[in-house]
């Protein structure tokens, strides 16, 4: 039996009573996990132990709840049989200086693991956005027979007439944004109105993860391989890379279930889902990115400032892991513990949405043979996440929960536009009036300006359209 009592405002005690067991040779210990705290262990008799915990000194006027985790271990023996065992358990140690009924006032202390996961997330975006071309799927499209694909498939408005088109991703537009809103609302409905909601959402996530893992492993093989042996057909249209990717995707999903959803396996699956979304969704101009960002910021502000803060009074940092602990979050354990929160996380969408725009900047850079816009986008992402982290930690006393989007998205757009104005590229990058070789040159990996110039001159484009494209190709002097 365990009895917890509060001795004073800054101290409490934990009494442990062993029923049917005795303490073996006074072998016992208590230790703090991940934080510095004072705890004294006192053995009353063979069956009773008292642990006294003392809160650290704090400044006057503190109106939050600090917490940590303690680990208690003791050697016990059963008097009748003489069998010796080790009893070990962990418990939350709470320093509550005032009485609160609102869980959103629980303080989330800064932990060094937060900086690690931010750097890790930015590295993932840096690597995955450089894989801008879909190489493993060669799906030919005929827009004349299926004109509705113009609204779904990522192509440029001045695509060359008669050019063979291959699938290079879905375009990010209003349809995708509405799907994002509907999916968010449906998740809320499933969680609150379906009894087996956790199993239902988990099965859906794992089915989606199987496809994403297969797709990204295929892309990695085609991106990193120096020969075409992996793309050789084994049976009809099934290739070697398809078989390897299918095996790896099933392997990681099964391993995720066998290891009881271990965080490191979950991160691998989340990485695959992020990489697949980076490649399957593309924007064709900065204007579309700005519209998408404005819509998501408005949705997040209503969700955070109205529903979470005013209606539900929940702590977003804690409740996300309680309702969304699936392979859609990058997670790593904390170096020190917070109440009900033993790891830090970074949402998949917090990386995918800005990553799609950074991928566009990378494609624009390839048109200019530079890396400036790509680096500017990554810088906006990193600084935006750091500003969100600082803002989240400093606004906890005021019970205001801030969405990450209000920091990251404006910085990316602002940095990009300022540099584009300086370079005179604002109109070109805003409307996407450049030769995007990843969308227009199909499976040509290397960029050949002379070949692109010849294709333009032999096309049926108007003179002003050719001028815009050749300016993007830096061939206007040869026009």
Residue 351 banded pLDDT, cuts 50, 70, 90: confident
Model pLDDT for residues 28-65, shown as the tens digit of each residue = 777 776 556 677 777 777 777 888 777 665 554 455 55
Place of tokens 């830090």: 344
pLDDT at 478 over 70: no
Q: Taking residues 156-161, report their average pLDDT.
A: 61
Rounded-to-integer distance, Cα 435 and Cα 430, Å: 14
Q: Taking residues 97-116, report their average pLDDT.
A: 65
Domain contains 379: yes
Task: Lowest mean pLDDT of 60-64, 288-292, 453-457, name the range.
Answer: 60-64
Last residue of a domain, one of 69, 100, 131: 100
Pair 322, 408 in one domain: yes
Domain contains 464: no
Long-range contacts of 441-447 (CB under 8 A, 24+ apart): 442/163, 442/164, 442/165, 442/166, 443/133, 443/135, 443/138, 443/166, 445/133, 447/366
Q: How many CB atoms lie within 10 A of CB 321?
A: 16
Rounded-to-integer distance, Cα 415 and Cα 292, Å: 17
Q: How many CB atoms lie within 10 A of CB 174?
A: 12
Contact 379, 361 (CB under 8 A): no
Pair 25, 45 in one domain: yes
Element (H, E) at 91: strand 84-96
- Reference 65, options 55, 78, 76; nearest CA is 55
Task: Lowest mean pLDDT of 43-57, 103-117, 229-243, 409-423, name the range.
Answer: 103-117
Contact 92, 69 (CB under 8 A): yes
Dihedral, 95, 101, 103, 104 alpha carbons, nearest 10: -110
Pair 43, 110 in one domain: no
Rounded-to-integer distance, Cα 141 and Cα 183, Å: 28
Q: Which pair of tokens denotes residue 55? A: 């809160």
Contact 253, 262 (CB under 8 A): no
Q: How many CB atoms lie within 10 A of CB 86?
A: 10
pLDDT at 475 over 50: no
Long-range contacts of 144-151 (CB under 8 A, 24+ apart): 151/175
Q: Which pair of tokens denotes residue 301? A: 């502000």
Domain contains 462: no
Domain contains 452: no
pLDDT of residue 269: 92
Structural domain for 83, as ranges:
2-100
Pair 54, 131 in one domain: no
- Reference 403, options 302, 296, 304; nearest CA is 304
Model pLDDT for residues 3-18, shown as the tens digit of each residue = 777 666 667 778 888 7
pLDDT at 447 over 50: no
Residue length of the chain: 479
Element (H, E) at 274: helix 263-280
Pair 352, 321 in one domain: yes
Rounded-to-integer distance, Cα 113 and Cα 92, Å: 20
Model pLDDT for residues 297-333, shown as the tens digit of each residue = 887 777 767 666 566 565 566 666 666 778 888 888 8
Residue 446 banded pLDDT, cuts 50, 70, 90: very low
pLDDT of residue 73: 84
Q: What is the DSSP string of 381-429?
A: HHHHHHHHHHHHHHTTTTT----THHHHHHHHHHHHHHHHHHHT-HHHH
Contact 434, 449 (CB under 8 A): no
Report CA-CA distances (Å) from 311 to 19, 238, 295: 45, 52, 22
pLDDT at 254 over 90: yes
Question: How many domains does the chain divide into?
Answer: 2
Domain contains 467: no
DSSP 312: I
Question: Could you tell me which residues come within 8 angstroms of residue 56 by beta carbon, excluding any fewer than 6 positions away?
Answer: 36, 37, 38, 66, 95
Pair 131, 96 in one domain: no
Pair 324, 257 in one domain: yes
pLDDT at 154 over 90: no
Pair 380, 411 in one domain: yes
Rounded-to-integer distance, Cα 292 and Cα 357, Å: 10
Pair 306, 403 in one domain: yes
Pair 168, 284 in one domain: yes
Domain contains 410: yes
Pair 94, 113 in one domain: no
Task: Lowest mean pLDDT of 97-101, 233-237, 272-276, name the range.
Answer: 97-101
Would residue 5 be called left, alpha or beta, if left means φ above 0 and alpha means ψ between -120 and 50 degrees?
A: beta
Q: How many CB atoms lie within 10 A of CB 378?
A: 23
Pair 58, 173 in one domain: no
Contact 328, 123 (CB under 8 A): no
Q: Taking residues 365-388, report their average pLDDT.
A: 87
Question: Could you tell me which residues come within 8 angstroms of residue 346 by beta carbon, excluding any fewer than 6 positions away?
Answer: 117, 118, 121, 329, 330, 385
Task: Lowest mean pLDDT of 72-76, 190-194, 262-266, 418-422, name the range.
Answer: 190-194
Domain contains 465: no
Q: What is the DSSP string of 420-450?
A: HHHHT-HHHHHHT-S--HHHHSTT--S--HH
Residue 251 banded pLDDT, cuts 50, 70, 90: very high
Handedness of CA 244, 246, 247, 252 (dihedral sign): positive
Q: Which parts of 66-173 fold into alpha helices (H)?
A: 112-129
Rounded-to-integer distance, Cα 427 and Cα 442, Å: 25
**CATH number of the domain where residue 69 is located:** 2.60.40
Of 282 and 435, the structure prediction assigns the larger pLDDT to 282
> With pLDDT > 70 as the criterion, what percentage of the chain qualifies?
68
pLDDT of residue 66: 63
Average pLDDT in the chain: 76
Domain contains 475: no
């Amino acid at each position: 039996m365990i009895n917890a009592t509060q001795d004073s405002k800054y101290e409490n005690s934990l009494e442990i009573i062993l029923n049917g067991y005795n303490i073996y040779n006074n072998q016992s210990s208590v230790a703090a996990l991940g934080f510095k705290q004072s705890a004294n262990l006192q053995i009353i008799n063979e069956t009773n132990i008292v642990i006294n915990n003392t809160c650290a000194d704090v400044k006057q006027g503190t109106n939050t709840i600090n917490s940590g985790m303690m680990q208690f271990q003791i050697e016990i023996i059963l008097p009748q049989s003489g069998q010796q065992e080790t009893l070990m358990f962990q418990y939350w140690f709470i320093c509550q200086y005032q009485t609160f009924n609102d869980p959103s006032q629980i303080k989330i202390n800064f932990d060094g693991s937060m900086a690690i996961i931010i750097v890790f997330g930015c590295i993932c975006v840096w690597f995955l956005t450089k894989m801008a071309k879909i190489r493993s799927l060669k799906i030919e499209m005929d827009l004349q027979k299926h004109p509705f694909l113009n609204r779904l498939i990522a192509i440029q408005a001045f695509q060359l007439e008669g050019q063979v088109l291959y699938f290079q991703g879905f375009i990010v537009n209003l349809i995708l944004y509405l799907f994002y809103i509907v999916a968010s609302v449906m998740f809320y409905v499933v969680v609150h109105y379906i009894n087996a909601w956790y199993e239902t959402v988990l099965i859906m996530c794992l089915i989606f993860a199987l496809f994403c893992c297969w797709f990204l492993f295929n892309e990695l093989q085609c991106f990193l391989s120096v020969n075409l042996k992996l793309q050789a057909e084994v049976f009809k249209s099934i290739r070697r890379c398809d078989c390897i990717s299918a095996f790896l995707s099933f392997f990681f999903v099964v391993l995720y279930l066998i290891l009881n959803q271990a965080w490191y396996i979950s991160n691998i699956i989340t990485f695959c889902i992020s990489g697949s979304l980076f490649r399957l969704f593309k924007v064709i101009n900065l204007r579309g990115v700005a519209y998408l960002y404005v819509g998501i910021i408005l949705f997040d502000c209503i969700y955070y400032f109205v529903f979470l803060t005013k209606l539900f009074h929940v702590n977003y940092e804690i409740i996300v892991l309680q309702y969304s602990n699936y392979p859609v979050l990058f997670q790593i354990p904390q170096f020190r513990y917070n109440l009900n929160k033993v790891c830090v996380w970074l949402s998949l969408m917090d990386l995918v949405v800005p990553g799609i725009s950074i991928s566009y900047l990378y494609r624009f850079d390839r048109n200019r043979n530079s890396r400036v816009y790509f680096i500017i986008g990554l810088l906006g992402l990193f600084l935006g996440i750091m500003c969100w982290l600082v803002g989240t930690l400093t606004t906890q006393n005021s019970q205001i929960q801030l969405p990450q989007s209000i920091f990251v998205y404006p910085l990316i757009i602002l940095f990009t536009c300022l540099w584009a104005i300086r370079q005179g590229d604002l109109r070109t990058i805003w409307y996407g009036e450049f030769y995007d070789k990843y969308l227009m040159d199909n499976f040509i990996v290397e960029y050949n300006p002379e070949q692109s110039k010849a294709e333009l001159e032999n096309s049926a484009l108007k003179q002003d359209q050719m001028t815009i494209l050749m300016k993007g190709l830096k061939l206007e002097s040869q026009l």
